Amino acid sequence: MTTGTHDISTLLASRDTSAAEFGLNNILPIINGELARHNAIVTTLVNDLATFTTDRQRKYGISVAGDMHEVDEYGRAPTQVSKPGATVGFPLKMFQYALGWTRKWFELHTPADMVIAVQGGERAHLRMYSREIKRAFLLSGNYTWDDFLVDGVDLAVKRLVNADSAAIPEGPNGETFTASTHTHYVGEASLLASFVTAEISNVLEHGHGNAIRIAISATDEAAFRALTGFVAYTDPRLTMSTAADSLSTRLDITRANNRAIGIFGAAEVWVKSWMPASYLFFWDAGSDKPLVIRQRTSTSMQGLRIAGALDAFPLYAEYMESEFGVGVNTRTNGSVLYTGNATYSDPTVTS
């Protein structure tokens, strides 16, 4: 007797029987296992940029900025009042992918059809995650979010530091910043090495220096490689001629639009398929992440899931659902350089 475990490949191979005949009780654990793996992959994909939270707002702290005063034995320094940090809020949105599974659908469609529908929802989920993450750090304007999925409280959603006069923590060496003018959304009319160096410093001066990265579009790769100071990783298809070559990092030739291509100053340069042309994003992947992804408190409502009409019949569902929202938490850990104009302009982010 052959024994084993049903998995997605089992369902994909089931094209000669209806879902109803295969048995919805047999299909449900396989689909749930597939969604659990998908949600775990999503978590892994975003961990360079974001952490997950159930908080809907936090205090973006500021260190106490004060001065020591020289006095004599009878002197008394003036009391200095520390400024509290600003509040940062995180939105919570609901996204759906239509399934339309009904009793009649199960009688007429196969388990393979079910898997194809689920995988379509997973791909749509990944695209939506990518869109919401890009909007969180590429768009420069703060906004107010009505938390209508909970209790309707207005939340102040912030972007990266954007000269909005909100308090900015001191730098690691006591650097102070003018909150009304200091911004991490910078526009330049061209791509120059000096501009890239300045944006690396824009992150470093706030104490984020563990693993500085630069994300660029594949469209801008050739121009970036031409910058003075860029050191490319070695293409393994080329013959290495020196000992120095043999010690260099090998270029990943399997993912041309998603790979590290070299070093510029203190930063590693990554080509990312999700970066729009003429925009470069600088951040420290080794310290407090710039973004948080807000989820529901209940674990059963986290990630992508099938929203059944009845708990007793979870596969009788019209939609796959995901509730999440992306907001900036560490406002200083990130800077965006736009090289299309001397003034920063928000990109159009639709996917």
- pLDDT tens string 175-217: 889 999 999 999 999 999 999 999 999 999 999 999 999 999 9
Q: Is residue 216 part of a domain?
A: yes
Residue with the bigger pLDDT between 220 and 86: it is 220
Q: What is the pLDDT of residue 10?
A: 65
DSSP for 179-238, written as a single string: TTT-BSEEE-SS--HHHHHHHHHHHHTTT--SSEEEEE-GGGHHHHHTSTTEEEPBPTTS
Residue with the bigger pLDDT between 290 and 311: it is 290
Answer whether 251's CB lies under 8 Å from 270's CB: no
**Region at 303 (left for phi over 0; alpha for psi -120 to 50; beta for the rest):** left
DSSP E strands: which ranges in the chain? 50-53, 57-60, 86-89, 93-98, 143-146, 154-157, 185-187, 212-216, 230-232, 258-264, 267-272, 279-284, 291-294, 305-310, 313-328, 335-338
pTM of this structure? 0.84
Q: 175 lies in which domain range?
A: 11-61+84-338
Tokens 């104490």: give the residue: 207
Q: Is residue 346 part of a domain?
A: no
Q: At 21, which helix (H) or strand (E)? A: helix 19-22
Distances (CA, A) of 30 to 112, 162, 230, 254, 338: 12, 46, 48, 31, 45
Q: Is residue 79 part of a domain?
A: no
Report the domain count for the chain. Answer: 1
Determine phi and psi for 306, rounding to 5 degrees.
Answer: -90, 125
Distance (Å, rounded) from C-alpha 60 to C-alpha 238? Answer: 48
Q: What is the pLDDT of residue 61?
A: 65
Average pLDDT on 141-169 reads 94
Average pLDDT on 295-318 reads 78
Q: Is residue 267 part of a domain?
A: yes
Using the predicted structure, report yes or no on whether residue 289 has a pLDDT greater than 90: yes
Residue type, 162: N
Q: What is the pLDDT of residue 4?
A: 46
Q: Is residue 183 part of a domain?
A: yes
Q: Is residue 131 part of a domain?
A: yes
Q: Is residue 67 part of a domain?
A: no
Q: 3-7, 26-30, 253-257, 323-327: which has the minimum mean pLDDT?
A: 3-7
Q: Is residue 344 part of a domain?
A: no
Distance (Å, rounded) from C-alpha 13 to C-alpha 111? Answer: 8
How many C-beta atoms lie closer than 10 Å to residue 41's C-beta? 12
Beta strand 267-272 pairing with 305-310 = unpaired
Distance (Å, rounded) from C-alpha 259 to C-alpha 232? Answer: 12
Distance (Å, rounded) from C-alpha 67 to C-alpha 50? Answer: 35
Answer whether 290's CB lies under 8 Å from 160's CB: yes
Tokens 């291509």: give the residue: 261
Q: How far is CA 244 from the centre of its chain?
A: 35
